[in-house]
Amino acid sequence: MIAKIIEATSDEKSPRNYSRFISKYAIYFVFVAMCVVMTILSPVFLTVANLLNVVTQMASIGLLALGVTIIIITRGIDLSSGSVLAVAAVVSASMAQSLDWGMRMYPNLGELPVIIPILAALAVGALCGFINGALIAYTGIPPFIATLGMMIIARGAALLYSDGRPVSSLIDSYQWIGQGTIIGIPVPVIIFIVMAIISYILLNYTRFGKYAYAIGGNETAAYVSGINVNKYKVLIYSYGGLLAGIAALILAARINSGQPGLGVSYELDAIAAATVGGVSHAGGIGTIQGTIIGTMIMGVLQNGLDLLNVSAYWQQVVKGLVIVVAVIFDMKRQKKSQ
């Protein structure tokens, strides 16, 4: 018995276990280090107002990243989430315009209860995700091509629906979604936290999540074991679209306008946040908590560069480098685990 205890203790202290520990929690160390560096470079960074601003600004991208995380776990990709956000935003905003706005899209439509534009955004987002999932599952189109097509179609639909103009002057109850607070916490932050908890539960404690990991790990084996792979692909992409609809609500409400140009490159930021958070593009690996940290890293990076007055052009370069480094790290981690 004593020998076994000694052996177990020595195993815990082995270099391999130290390496696993560092690999598992490296993203958290990076996040803390970034916060420390930014605090030293700019004392404004660590203020409560600025930290809340970081999370509020990243809430929409964070919601997209939650959906993309589950999709990438299945060895898929979603390039359409930013465009889906745009079309959901203009449709939702068109049903939330106040009566005193002379350029209402539907001048004969009375002021609707706020639940109507909310449901409209969710429905549009979920429908776009459903179409993505159905195309991928039942036609065999690669996820890259299917969602690339949806990216272009949804952006075009947003422009057609709004005639290329912003849909402005939204009712107060709608604006509250993006601008309100509850006990001092911005509503967008609360929505992001709630959806992160729901996504965590779905991914870790339901068939939805277990099957997502199984499909990403080995789709053929998942099919042979009795999992309805096509059905769950549709559900997973529909959930991603639903989250894009929620992100649309937040963004349109924050700026008091649904604009067809919203969400440009947001899909890339969402994929970057998930990748930095440790979601593997090889499939079957990834966590919601990792994506949350990845989102915060991207937010801290952007906020810090803004505080340091770094050019927006250089910010794009830095973001690209961060993504490449994250993927290289993931590839090395995959090789070590094999």
pLDDT digits (tens, 9 = 90+) for 188-217: 999 999 999 999 999 999 999 999 999 999
How high is the mean pLDDT of the chain?
89
Asked if pLDDT for residue 7 goes beyond 70, the answer is no
Residue 102 has what pLDDT? 61
Residue 42 has what pLDDT? 87
Asked if pLDDT for residue 293 goes beyond 60, the answer is yes
Residue 22 has what pLDDT? 62
User: What pLDDT, in 10s, does the model give residues 57-91?
Assistant: 999 999 999 999 999 999 999 999 999 999 999 99
Residue 6 has what pLDDT? 38
d(CA 56, CA 172): 19
Q: Using 50, 70 and 90 to split pLDDT, how confident is the model at 334? A: low
Q: Using 50, 70 and 90 to split pLDDT, how confident is the model at 107? A: confident
Distances (CA, A) of 67 to 143, 200, 271, 284: 14, 11, 10, 15
Q: Using 50, 70 and 90 to split pLDDT, how confident is the model at 1? A: very low
Beta carbons of 77 and 142 less than 8 angstroms apart? no
User: What pLDDT, in 10s, does the model give residues 134-180?
Assistant: 999 999 999 999 999 999 999 999 999 999 999 998 999 999 999 99
Residue 243 has what pLDDT? 98
Asked if pLDDT for residue 18 goes beyond 60, the answer is no
- Classify 185 as helix, strand or coil: strand
d(CA 101, CA 174): 15
Which residues are paired to 182 by β-bridges?
185
Report, as an integer, the average pLDDT of 106-120. 89
Which residues are paired to 257 by β-bridges?
168
